Amino acid sequence: MNAGLNLEPYWMPFTGNRYFKAHPLLMQSAEGMYFTTTDGRKILDGIAGLWCCNAGHCHPRIVAAIQQQVATLDYATAFQLGHPGVFELADRLTAMAPGGLDHAFFVNSGSEAVDTALKIAIAYHRMRGEGQRIRLIGRERGYHGVGFGGISVGGMSPNRKMFGAMLPGVDHLPSTHNLEHNAFSRGMPEWGAHLADELENIVALHDASTIAAVIVEPVAGSAGVLIPPPGYLQRLRDICDRHGILLIFDEVITAFGRTGSAFGAETFGVQPDLMSVAKGLTNGAVPMGAVLVDGDIYSAFMTGPEQAVEFFHGYTYSAGHPAAAAAGLAALAVYEEEDLFERAARMAPVLEDAVHSLRGTKHVIDIRNLGMMAAIELEPRAGEPTLRALEAFRLCFDAGLLVRTTGDTLALTPSLIINEPQIAQIVDTIGDALRSID
Ligand code: PXG
Ligand code: PLP
């Protein structure tokens, strides 16, 4: 229980602090698909922690690898030094990665991965004598973490508006999310590939010679599972190629099986020049992110004197902290041995049928899904946006289910180990909650 626990000093992230502290929800332990709360309730985790525990919670192999690592080598700097685990992880990760993404730069989070990828893009052009390519193009409703780079290219207004001018030279593509054309699509929505052509207009406005990179999530996760129309990502790729612009896929959510294969790039058949990953990289067990980098980009940096630093960037733990590297190696091994990406592809139609069975339920104005991600969008309550979804969230939790809300959308992103009865339980619980709220 929580008696005696002082909740006040902790300033909680992305949380209504006063409401939470009056109505706390505290987790004590977790295993597989379930959390146990401090008051002993078992909660089915419908969101894999926060899109990160793809192999389920407290996987014994990952736990053991971390325990062993911290007792052997707790820390070694990655600046001019190393340890074997991080080299092994880079080797393993780049072997999985699509196409020429054959180098990995490690960081501690998705936000750091994004800021690192943006810095690599700008610096790459400069290394090649195109230092005027400094503009970055993001997308409306995009989420790229909370660093100044990430919020600048990001397109979620509440995450931006408190924080001043941000990076200069940023522009945004339109979002492809459109209920009028695409409501209740199963998998990829038909309408919207032409919106990629807006990139040509942005290029015309600023001139290609000033643009370093375009960054998008293959599926926008945080804004509510916004799925690309067929051909859209390829059109972005083609326009970038035409103008010498780098294409960055932010796969912090979509990597490691979420879309039914190892990476969104693979699912959609489009090759980025840089890719940010995090979350599932360690199954959420230790913070870690990475930027996967095309070999030509890496090579462009490997020019000056051999002993000179090539890229003036790095975090104290970005070396690939030994515990994170151990967790990453174990997580990738588990994904492979348990065939979890294959399993995600196999279960995706089950999740699809289940969530679409909620069509017609009170308040539901859209349902969308791809791989092991789905969203149920609710009609916002007049004058009280987001409150209906928050009420649904609380009711689901009281009924033993954790979902995620963003705006008036409920997001489902279960671990890839989820089974059919658990999927049915999720949908039944959400249906009951929606029917009982105004
Ligand atoms: N890029 C993408 C695409 C993400 O989804 C980040 C970057 C930032 O990662 P870190 O590790 O710095 O948080 C993310 C993170 C939600 C939610 O409610 C999603 C994220 C973070 C917080 C909430 O869906 N994604
Ligand atoms: N601030 C100060 C004063 C520091 O010394 C450092 C790192 O040495 C940082 C910030 C950055 O911390 P990190 O490398 O963990 O991102």
How far does residue 27's CA lie from ligand 2's centre (Å)? 30
Closest by CA position to 188, among listed 244, 227, 246: 227
Q: What is the pLDDT of residue 318?
A: 79
Q: Which atom of ligand 2 has the smallest separation from the CA of 316?
A: 14
Q: What is the pLDDT confidence band of residue 43, given thresholds at 50, 70 and 90?
A: very high
Do 407 and 385 form a contact (C-beta atoms < 8 A)?
yes
| Positions of E strands within 68-128 | 101-107
**Ligand 1 pocket, residue 278 CB under 6 Å:** yes
How far does residue 316's CA lie from ligand 2's centre (Å)? 7
Q: Of all helices (H) and strands (E), which one includes residue 420?
A: helix 420-436
Q: Which atom of ligand 1 has the smallest separation from the CA of 114?
A: 7
Do 137 and 215 form a contact (C-beta atoms < 8 A)?
yes
- Calculate mean pLDDT across residues 154-175: 96
Q: What is the pLDDT confidence band of residue 3, given thresholds at 50, 70 and 90?
A: confident
**Ligand 2 pocket, residue 316 CB under 6 Å:** yes
Closest by CA position to 241, among listed 191, 189, 294, 190: 294
Mean pLDDT score of the chain = 97
Which ligand is located closest to the Cα atom of residue 47? 1
Do 135 and 104 form a contact (C-beta atoms < 8 A)?
no
Do 221 and 255 form a contact (C-beta atoms < 8 A)?
no
Q: What is the pLDDT confidence band of residue 422, given thresholds at 50, 70 and 90?
A: very high
Residue to mutate, 222, 225, 317, ligand 1, most ligand atoms under 8 Å from C-beta: 222
Which ligand is located closest to the Cα atom of residue 146? 1
| Positions of E strands within 281-436 | 289-294, 364-370, 373-378, 401-402, 404-406, 409-412
Q: What is the pLDDT of residue 358?
A: 98
Q: Which atom of ligand 1 has the smallest separation from the CA of 405?
A: 18
**Ligand 2 pocket, residue 77 CB under 6 Å:** no
Q: Is 437 exposed, middle or buried (0-12, 13-18, 19+ CB in 10 A)?
A: middle
**Ligand 1 pocket, residue 413 CB under 6 Å:** no
pLDDT in tens, 78-120: 999 999 999 999 999 999 999 999 999 999 999 999 999 999 9
Do 44 and 422 form a contact (C-beta atoms < 8 A)?
yes
Name the residue ranges covered by the structural domains of the chain. 17-55+339-435, 63-337
Closest by CA position to 248, among listed 349, 363, 129, 150: 150
The β-bridge partners of 370 are 373
Q: What is the pLDDT of residue 320?
A: 83
Q: Which atom of ligand 2 has the smallest separation from the CA of 314?
A: 14
**Ligand 1 pocket, residue 264 CB under 6 Å:** no
**Ligand 2 pocket, residue 314 CB under 6 Å:** no
Which ligand is located closest to the Cα atom of residue 258? 1
Q: What is the pLDDT confidence band of residue 1, given thresholds at 50, 70 and 90?
A: low
pLDDT in tens, 354-411: 999 999 999 999 999 999 999 999 999 999 999 999 999 999 999 999 999 999 999 9
Residue to mutate, 248, 253, 291, ligand 1, most ligand atoms under 8 Å from C-beta: 253
Q: Of all helices (H) and strands (E), which one includes residue 61?
A: helix 60-72
- Give the global pTM: 0.97
Q: Which atom of ligand 2 has the smallest separation from the CA of 315?
A: 14
**Ligand 1 pocket, residue 221 CB under 6 Å:** yes
How far does residue 151's CA lie from ligand 1's centre (Å)? 11
How far does residue 406's CA lie from ligand 1's centre (Å)? 12
Fold of 63-337: Aspartate Aminotransferase; domain 2 (3.40.640)
Query: Which architecture does CATH list for 17-55+339-435?
Result: Alpha-Beta Complex (3.90)
